[in-house]
Amino acid sequence: MKVNDRFKLEQAVLGKLMLEQDPTQIEKAFEILAQKPLAGSRHRAAFDAAFALAKNGQPHGFDDVIKRCEADGTLNRAGGEFYVRGLLLKVERDNRGLVDCANRLSTDNEPAAMAPDKAGVRSETTTPAEPTPSEADHDQSGKSVRSKPKREVILRRMSDIEPKPLRWLWPGFLPLAKLSLIGGDPGLGKSMLTLDLAARVSTGSPWPDGSQCPRGEAILLNAEDDPEDTIRPRLDAAQANPEKVHELFAVRETNGSESMFSLEKDVALLEATLIANPDVVLVVIDPISAYLGKSDSYRETDIRNILSPLQALAAEYDVSIIYVTHLNKNSGASAVYRMTGSTAFVGVARAVFAVDKDPDDKDRRFFAPVKANLSIDCVGMAYRVTTTNEGIPRIEWESEPIAISAQDLLCAGPDRGEASEAEEFLRDALDGGEQIPVTDIFRTGKEQGFSEKQLRIAKEKIGAQHKRTGFQGKSVWYLPSYIPSDAIHPLSPDKGM
């Protein structure tokens, strides 16, 4: 067995060990693993803690092992709290039990400890041996003192990583196996939008742009809306299959009481839920601030410690996890800084979208990209909030994408009130079917007192489109109501283009 494979198998065995409740299986596994030490030093620390607890007839779950390691001063050596909790994600999703996996480890002929690489850097396929007496240090009195295990970095060769294609829940918008973020002010329909996403997943209905939606199940964590009079009626209005949409509304404690789900301590329970419901492809957390426990939403280390296990969960089970947040009041900041709380919320997510209203249409909303790490040319969409005959609000998407960005929407500042004048200027410039280079529009617009933001918003309002033309591929704007030609507007000095 390759050492890298053994390393992963050890992670799975430890995860199974901390989940196992059968005393006979636990005793057999301890007997097997005691005969041949685990190769990973952090794994040996976790195993020793679990073994000490089980030997005394005490619970030896993830929380118990973490507390034991803390008491013994070996938690850092075991990889830290989140590494120990993350072992749950490594539990193999097959029918092999704890004893079977332990036997696979015991029959492996690879050495239990590997030599360090040069410069003190160790590969994931290498693990340091425990210090020997010859490596002992000495205190000031000359007394021999056993060296403490040294910290190490873990390397993985790219040649050992199997490439795989990127998969999408909504192609170009929401990736699978990743985290995504949707932000917006209260009252704009963010929650309604996520219910629309869940409804489409539950039936496999096409996405608003016509792309295919995988049929599956969705899990909703919604801390603000009532499931009886709000969530269920809105799912029905969106034509969802309610059998395929689940609400995670509480955690049942060991004493029978119920508590609110917490991303600080209950990710392992979400993991177990995904195992029990393998058809889930979408998880919505709305708003994420309600599920942070005691973590400080403005402290980057706290938020990254929350989101890292969540990202690992999304990757392991190939689900799209979307978390929702509000905007702050700093309208002068870049769009990436408009999301409430730490910048880690935006930094960790691979796709971030903002919801904002159309200032000229109270029922129209923009769903615009803030950042898209995985999409080459991500555009936005527009939708309206309408009502059914029963008065239930629902989302109606427009089929055509919008080119406006969240930067234009969220950070346009006070000059958005002058949008109508910018629209009039742009409509006059494009009237007659001319194709005007964008640089000329911006230059002339600036002379008339219009910013690029105003002109881009005006372009969306009047329905202008853009394309590249000419040998050098200059970008031009034109009105689609006219048949595009090669005419160049007098605004442009490049009449020969």
Q: Is residue 163 part of a domain?
A: no
Q: Is residue 120 part of a domain?
A: yes
pLDDT at res. 324? 96
Mean pLDDT of 255-264: 93
CATH of residue 125's domain is 1.10.860.10
Q: Is residue 93 part of a domain?
A: yes
Mean pLDDT of 31-50: 76
Least confident of 94-98, 104-108, 175-179, 201-205: 94-98
Peptide bond into 287 cis (omega under 30): yes
Q: Is residue 490 part of a domain?
A: no
Do 323 and 176 reside in the same domain of the chain? Answer: yes
Pair of tokens at residue 105? 């480890």
Q: Across 234-273, where does the E strand assignment appear? A: 245-247, 251-252, 258-259
Looking at the structure of the chain, the number of domains it has is: 3
CATH of residue 198's domain is 3.40.50.300
Of residues 6 and 94, the one with the higher pLDDT is 6
Q: Residue 24 sits in which domain range?
A: 3-130+150-158
Mean pLDDT, the chain, whole residue set: 80
Do 308 and 353 reside in the same domain of the chain? Answer: yes
pLDDT at res. 91? 63
The answer to whether residue 94 scores a pLDDT higher than 60 is no
Mean pLDDT of 315-339: 85
Mean pLDDT of 359-379: 82
Least confident of 24-33, 190-199, 218-227, 320-329: 24-33
- For 102-127, the pLDDT digits (tens) are 888 777 764 444 333 333 333 443 33
pTM over 0.75: no
Of 156, 149, 116, residue with least CA distance to 132: 149
User: Distance between CA 321 and CA 308 in Å, rounded?
Assistant: 12
List % helix, strand, coil for the chain (3-state, nearest 5): 40, 20, 40
Contact 220, 232 (CB under 8 A): no
Q: Is residue 316 part of a domain?
A: yes
Q: Find the helix or strand (DSSP H, E) in which 276 lies.
A: helix 267-276
The answer to whether residue 130 scores a pLDDT higher than 60 is no
Q: At what angle do helices 300-317 and 267-276 cross, to 10 degrees?
A: 10
- For 194-220, the pLDDT digits (tens) are 999 999 999 999 999 999 999 999 999
Residue showing tokens 């041996």: 129
Do 436 and 450 reside in the same domain of the chain? Answer: yes
pLDDT at res. 397? 95
Q: Positive or negative CA dihedral for 304, 311, 195, 230?
A: negative
Helices (H), 328-386: 344-348
Contact 67, 74 (CB under 8 A): no
Which pLDDT band holds residue 472 (cuts at 50, 70, 90)? low
Do 173 and 290 reside in the same domain of the chain? Answer: yes
The answer to whether residue 418 scores a pLDDT higher than 60 is no
Contact 304, 344 (CB under 8 A): yes
Contact 177, 167 (CB under 8 A): yes
Do 379 and 339 reside in the same domain of the chain? Answer: yes
Output the 3-class SS for 23-92: HHHHHHHHHHHHHCCCCCHHHHHHHHHHHHHHHCCCCCCHHHHHHHHHHHCCCCCCCCHHHHHHHHHHCC
- For 3-12, the pLDDT digits (tens) are 567 777 788 8
Mean pLDDT of 18-33: 80
Of residues 395 and 338, the one with the higher pLDDT is 395
Mean pLDDT of 24-36: 78
The answer to whether residue 87 scores a pLDDT higher than 80 is no
DSSP 391-438: S-EEEEE-SS-B---HHHHHS-GGGGGGHHHHHHHHHHHHTTS-BEEH
Q: Find the helix or strand (DSSP H, E) in which 181 lies.
A: strand 179-184
The answer to whether residue 82 scores a pLDDT higher than 90 is no
User: Distance between CA 200 and CA 182 in Å, rounded?
Assistant: 17
pLDDT at res. 266? 93
Helices (H) and strands (E) in the chain, counts: 15, 20
Of 343, 314, 404, residue with least CA distance to 183: 343
The answer to whether residue 355 scores a pLDDT higher than 70 is yes
Q: At what angle do helices 452-462 and 438-447 cross, to 10 degrees?
A: 120
Do 31 and 84 reside in the same domain of the chain? Answer: yes
The answer to whether residue 492 scores a pLDDT higher than 60 is no
The answer to whether residue 155 scores a pLDDT higher than 80 is yes
Mean pLDDT of 419-437: 77
Do 381 and 304 reside in the same domain of the chain? Answer: yes
| Phi, psi at 477, each rounded to 5° | -110, 150
Q: Is residue 139 part of a domain?
A: no
Do 402 and 420 reside in the same domain of the chain? Answer: no
The last residue of one of the domains, among 352, 375, 408, is 408
Do 43 and 114 reside in the same domain of the chain? Answer: yes
Mean pLDDT of 483-492: 42
**In sequence order, what are the beta bridge partners of 280?**
217
The answer to whether residue 39 scores a pLDDT higher than 80 is no
132 C-beta neighbours (distance < 10 Å), count: 9
pLDDT at res. 388? 94
Do 48 and 116 reside in the same domain of the chain? Answer: yes
User: Distance between CA 56 and CA 290 in Å, rounded?
Assistant: 38
Q: Is residue 203 part of a domain?
A: yes
User: Distance between CA 400 and CA 300 in Å, rounded?
Assistant: 37
pLDDT at res. 106? 76
Of residues 179 and 162, the one with the higher pLDDT is 179
Least confident of 58-72, 174-188, 306-320: 58-72
The answer to whether residue 332 scores a pLDDT higher than 70 is no
Of 385, 386, 372, 401, residue with least CA distance to 463: 401
Do 335 and 222 reside in the same domain of the chain? Answer: yes
Mean pLDDT of 472-486: 64
Q: Is residue 485 part of a domain?
A: no
Mean pLDDT of 239-265: 94
DSSP conformational letter for 287: S
How do beta strands 320-325 and 280-286 pair? parallel
In terms of average pLDDT, the best of 137-146, 237-246, 448-457, 486-495 is: 237-246
Which pLDDT band holds residue 81 (cuts at 50, 70, 90)? confident
Do 227 and 361 reside in the same domain of the chain? Answer: yes
Pair of tokens at residue 249? 């509304």
CATH of residue 473's domain is 1.10.10
Mean pLDDT of 23-46: 76
The last residue of one of the domains, among 408, 437, 462, is 408
The last residue of one of the domains, among 408, 423, 448, is 408
